[in-house]
């Protein structure tokens, strides 16, 4: 028996173990020039009946997965053989639910890009129905735009928290009004601050995303300093790093071709990252670097106590000889390096250096790095 329910294209890496439920389709704004995800796709709202039917479908899939486990002699547990069965069957939804059960069935992520656009009463209805039908759920999270959050009062957001909404992910990207305008983000730094404070006041966990390199070469300093200043005014629970990669599918690519926007190289992005972290003061946020596009995934920790250690990682990279920087950059983009200490692996070092030599002989190093980064966008 094959059952299906609707899902969107993306979720935060931190929600890898979450059940994905689609409340809305695509993005209400969909004009950000650095984002290729929903371009050409109109925004639409799903009905309460459609969403509830999907929750019911998940409930039925859970029954079928447990039933298969029992019939196969696994006592209802979701082990590797159960997962392999549903993966081989080729039904992604059933495999997704089986994986969710395997990972504890405790978290749910509402898709797509701005589910908080729904009426508060409807969201509360969905949250209550979700908890009723899937009582194992302990945490529910969603993306939201800052301008959308400002349409809801603190009281409304608090009602959502009481109904079960645990965390909101906001794509701040930058705190610089100049950069936000250039990127057609559709919000201002003031709106980011007011929305973030509103979420915090309502008692909902807040995660703000910063897009490293979004200021390009022209606005690198403004991007770093103004973003730090904006986050200082919010004090979010989490600050998550993403890094800019420009591909032909993005409207930003045209700005690159005309010279209106100049992409920073990896070292330039790291220098901006250093300036940004140095500018964070008086907050207790956790900095998380959980995307493979980030060059220095080791830059993470709790503010203020881990700030010196995060800056020390950056300083270690900047202090590398230029050749070693290039080797690390290429190795990281190839997925062979994850930490600066990986440079000490002599076998990998030789492999990466050999590839670097080849790319340099062909004059293709920068093009290769841009291509590899583009493959990691998700």
Q: Is the dihedral of CA 313, 315, 173, 119 positive or negative?
A: positive
Residue 43 contacts residue 27 (beta carbons within 8 Å): yes
pLDDT of 377 over the 80 cut: no
pTM of this structure: 0.94
Q: Where are the domains of the chain?
A: 1-106, 144-319, 321-378
CA–CA distance, 341 with 347 (Å, rounded to integer): 13
CA–CA distance, 163 with 126 (Å, rounded to integer): 9
Residue 368 contacts residue 362 (beta carbons within 8 Å): no
pLDDT of 378 over the 70 cut: no
For residue 97, report the phi and psi dihedrals to the nearest 5 degrees.
Answer: -65, -40
Pick the CATH number of 144-319 from 2.60.120.200, 3.20.20.70, 1.10.357.10, 1.10.3720.10: 3.20.20.70
**Helix, strand, coil percentages, rounded to 5, for the chain:** 50, 10, 40
What would the pLDDT profile of 60-111 be if each residue is shown by its tens digit? Answer: 999 999 999 999 999 999 999 999 999 999 989 999 999 999 999 999 999 9
- The pLDDT-based confidence of 375 (bands split at 50, 70, 90) is confident
Question: Range with the lowest mean pLDDT among 148-157, 164-173, 224-233, 358-367?
Answer: 358-367
């Amino acid at each position: 028996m094959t059952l299906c329910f609707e899902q969107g294209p993306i979720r935060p890496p931190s929600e890898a173990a979450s059940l994905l439920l689609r409340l809305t389709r695509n993005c209400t704004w969909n004009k950000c020039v650095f984002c290729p995800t929903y371009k050409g796709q109109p925004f639409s709202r799903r009905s309460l009946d459609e969403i509830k039917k999907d929750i019911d479908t998940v409930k039925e899939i859970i029954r079928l997965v447990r039933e298969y486990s029992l019939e196969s002699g696994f006592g209802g547990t979701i082990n590797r053989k159960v997962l392999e069965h549903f993966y081989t069957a080729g039904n992604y939804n059933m495999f997704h639910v089986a994986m969710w059960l395997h990972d504890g069935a405790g978290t749910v992520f509402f898709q797509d890009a701005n589910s908080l656009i729904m009426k508060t009463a409807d969201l509360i209805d969905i949250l209550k129905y979700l908890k009723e039908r899937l009582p194992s759920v302990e945490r529910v999270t969603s993306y939201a735009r800052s301008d959308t959050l400002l349409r809801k009062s603190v009281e409304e957001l608090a009602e959502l928290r009481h109904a079960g909404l645990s965390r909101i992910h906001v794509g701040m990207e930058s705190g610089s009004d100049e950069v936000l305008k250039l990127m057609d983000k559709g919000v201002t730094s003031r709106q980011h601050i007011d929305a973030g404070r509103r979420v915090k006041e309502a008692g909902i966990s807040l995660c703000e995303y910063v897009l490293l390199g979004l200021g390009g070469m022209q606005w690198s300093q403004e991007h770093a300093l103004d973003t730090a200043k904006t986050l200082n005014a919010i004090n979010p629970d989490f600050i998550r790093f993403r890094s800019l990669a420009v591909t032909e599918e993005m409207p930003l690519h045209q700005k690159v071709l005309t010279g209106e926007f100049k992409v920073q190289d990896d070292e330039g992005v790291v220098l901006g990252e250093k300036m940004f972290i140095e500018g964070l003061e008086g907050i207790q946020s956790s900095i998380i670097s959980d995307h493979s596009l980030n060059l220095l995934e080791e830059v993470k920790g709790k503010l203020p106590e881990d700030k010196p250690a995060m800056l020390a990682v950056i300083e270690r990279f900047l202090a590398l000889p230029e050749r070693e920087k290039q080797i690390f950059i290429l190795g990281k983009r190839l997925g062979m390096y994850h930490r600066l200490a990986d440079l000490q692996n002599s076998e990998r070092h030789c492999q990466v250096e050999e590839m670097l030599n080849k790319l340099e002989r062909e004059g293709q190093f920068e093009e290769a790095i841009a291509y590899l980064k583009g493959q990691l966008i998700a």
